[in-house]
Amino acid sequence: MIGDWIDIGPLSAIPSRGARTVPVAGGEEIAIFRTGDDAVYALVNRCPHKQGPLSQGIVHGHAVACPLHNWRINLASGEAIGDDKGCVPTIPAKVDAGRVLISRLHAVTSALAA
């Protein structure tokens, strides 16, 4: 069934203050983050600095620290925090009835743009 949102699994499958990944055929991998207060964000899994896999960073507040060089990325905007400048594409995401949903349109667009 084709809707506006893609169900990618239960929230419980993502560790609190952690992330899981969703590879996109023909596109860039998406990282799905879950914060300590159960907010969910989806970003392209690539740091704007040196392409580090953001999904492997330490999640704190609503930010993630890239595992390669500790750039901190705002999960909501995808923008680097502090003196660093750069931005990673975000994909609208939400939780409904315990399921994590990401925007189909944005996921397709970001895949095709890659």
Partner 1 sequence: MGVHERIAGEGVGGGPDGRAHLVVVGNGMAGCRAVEELLARDPGRYRVTIFGAEPHVNYNRIMLSPVLAGEKTFDDIVINGLDWYHDNGIELITGDPVLAIDRVGKSVTARSGRTVSYDKLLIATGSDPFIIPVPGKDLPGVISFRDMADVDHMLAAAGAGGDAVVIGGGLLGLEAAHGLTLRGMKVTVLHLMPTLMERQLDEAAGWLLKTALEARGQTILTGADTAEIVGDTAVEGVRLKDGTLIPASLVVMAVGIRPSVTLARDAGLDIGRGIKVDDHMVTSDPDVLAVGECVEHDGNVYGLVAPLWDMCRALADGLVEQHSGYRGSVTSTKLKVSGIDVFSAGDFSGMEGVEDIVLRDASRGIYKRVVVKDERIVGAVLYGDTGDGNWYFDLLKKQENISDIRDLLIFGQSFASGGGQADPKAAVAALSDDAEICGCNGVSKARVCQAIVDGAVSLDAVRSTCKASASCGSCTGLVEQLLSITLGEDYGSEHIVKTLCKCTSFGHDDVRREIVAQGMRAIPEVMQKLHWSTPDGCSSCRPALNYYLLCAWPGEYVDDQQSRFVNERMHANIQKDGTYSVVPRMWGGLTNPRELRAIADVVEKFNAPMVKVTGGQRLDIFGIRKEDLPAVWADLNAGGMVSGHAYGKSLRTVKTCVGSEWCRFGTQDSTGLGVRIERMTWGSWMPHKFKIAVSGCPRNCAEATIKDFGVVCVDSGYELHVGGNGGIKVRATDLLCKVATEQQAMDYCAAFIQLYREHARYLERTAPWIERVGLDFINSRIVDDEAGREALTARFLFSQSFSQDDPWAARAAGAEAEQHQHLGEFRPLDAIAAE
CB of 92 to partner 1, least distance (A): 10
CB of 85 to partner 1, least distance (A): 19
Q: What are phi and psi of 2, to 5 degrees?
A: -105, 110
Residue 81 is given by DSSP the state P
CB of 114 to partner 1, least distance (A): 10
Residue 51 or 86 having the CB closest to partner 1:
51
CB of 86 to partner 1, least distance (A): 16
Spacing of C-alpha 97 from chain mean position = 20
* Interface contacts to partner 1, rule CB under 8 A: 2, 6, 8-9, 13-18, 20-27, 30, 32, 35-40, 50-53, 56-62, 65, 67-68, 70, 72, 76-77, 94-95, 97, 104, 107-108, 111-112
Kindly give, in sequence order, each residue whose CB lies less than 8 Å from that of residue 107, ignoring residues fewer than 6 positions away.
6, 24, 30, 42, 91
Residue 25 or 83 having the CB closest to partner 1:
25
Region of 84 on the Ramachandran plot (φ > 0 left; ψ -120 to 50 alpha; else beta):
beta
Whether residue 91 contacts residue 107, with contact meaning beta carbons closer than 8 Å, is answered with yes
